[in-house]
Amino acid sequence: MKLQQLLSYTRKAVDDYQMIETDDSIAVGISGGKDSLTLLYALKHLQRFYPIPFSITAITVDLGFEGFDLTPITALCKELDVPYEIVPTDIAKIVFQEKKDTSPCSLCAKMRKGALNDKIKALGCNKVAYAHHKDDIVETMLLSLIYEGRFHSFSPVTYLDRMDLTLIRPLMYVPEADIIGFQNKFNLPTVKNPCPQDGVTKREYVKQLLRQLNLENPGVKNRMFTAIVNGKMEGWPDKSNLKREE
């Protein structure tokens, strides 16, 4: 995928759901994976020509795993001229050594988001951008159907009232396959996830299930995404009611 195509996808999402407003200070959550680095590229280059001014700051929550080297990410942020903050934590030790939970992902995610949100507020940012892409949205819907019995997926824009913080997902229209292509084309300096649970979660199971469904029924992934966008799910803004003030 070319940068121009990435920016086209990103701007469509930002415009469709009014994700960015004048003088927003946006924190970009950086995990070190392909998705978050693609998001960083997208927002930095969008910033250069988008008619509404906004600023971005990259933030990584370091869970404390050994061998998690963020040097390549630091270099990339310097190259892109994006401020970069690393939040050191002992989350890995707490989850895997102290708590020893057989299902650690929920606790880890809760603690990670808490550390990220605290840093975001300390920096004075009013929004945070997550790198969830088109496939993530469909996979989340299938997870909800299979394990919760409801038709649900995360919204493009979510206001967190307790934190007075707005969460946005500018990559919502970007297929994961295109992100992989962008990663290869631009040699993104990804950092491998050292978590021992990586690749053995329910989400990974649903990812493989969706891949098989799409092989057997070409286009089913796109049809599911269309159903989600048009499904008027609870928490999703209605695009038809979103109009920018002139």
Residue 76: closest CA among 34, 47, 133: 34
Query: What does pLDDT average to over the chain?
Result: 91
- The encoded tokens of residue 42 equal 């997208």
Mean pLDDT of 221-229: 95
What φ, ψ does residue 137 adopt, rounded to 5°? -65, -45
Residues 55, 21 contacting (CB under 8 angstroms): no
SS3 content of the chain, % helix, strand, coil (to 5): 50, 15, 40
Of 60, 120, 110, residue with least CA distance to 85 = 60
- pTM as predicted: 0.91
User: CB count, 10 Å around CB of 6?
Assistant: 24
Look at residue 93 in the predicted model and tell me its pLDDT.
Answer: 87
- pLDDT confidence of residue 201: 75
For residues 167 and 234, which has the higher predicted lDDT (pLDDT)? 167
CB 95 within 8 A of CB 55: no
pLDDT value at residue 17:
95
What integer pLDDT is reported at residue 199 of this predicted model?
58
Q: Which of 25-29, 37-41, 152-156, 229-233 has the lowest mean pLDDT?
A: 229-233
Quote the CATH superfamily of domain 3-241: HUPs (3.40.50.620)
Is pLDDT at 80 greater than 50 in this prediction? yes
Task: Give the whole-number percent of the chain exceeding pLDDT 90.
Answer: 73
- pLDDT of 245 above 50: no
| Residue 158 backbone phi and psi in degrees, to 5 | -135, 125
The first and second tokens of residue 165, run together, are 């913080």
Question: Residue 200 pLDDT more than 60?
Answer: no
Q: Which amino acid is at 76?
A: L
| pLDDT of 244 over the 70 cut | no
Q: What is the pLDDT of residues 45-75, one digit of tens each?
A: 999 999 999 999 999 999 988 888 999 999 9
HSE of 88, CA atoms in CB hemisphere, 13 A = 2
Q: What is the dihedral of CA 221, 226, 232, 236, to 10 degrees?
A: 70
| Nearest one of 230, 121, 135 to 166, comparing CA atoms | 121
175-190 pLDDT tens trace: 999 999 999 999 999 9
> For every residue of 90-149, which 3-state class applies, written as one string?
CHHHHHHHHHCCCCCHHHHHHHHHHHHHHHHHHHCCCEEECCCCHHHHHHHHHHHHHHHC
Q: Phi-psi region for residue 144, left (φ > 0), alpha (ψ -120 to 50) or beta?
A: alpha
Range from 89-98, 107-116, 118-127, 197-206 that averages highest in pLDDT: 118-127
* Chain segment 140-171, per-residue pLDDT in tens: 999 999 999 999 999 999 999 988 999 999 99
Domain boundaries, given as residue ranges, for the chain: 3-241
Whole-number Å distance between alpha carbons of 139 and 65:
27
- 153, two tokens: 């997926």
Residue with the bigger pLDDT between 1 and 176: it is 176
Cα separation of the two ends of the chain: 33
Of residues 77 and 102, more confidence is placed in 77
Name the residue with tokens 């942020």. Answer: 77
Q: What is the pLDDT of residue 198?
A: 66
What number is the average pLDDT over the span 77-91? 95
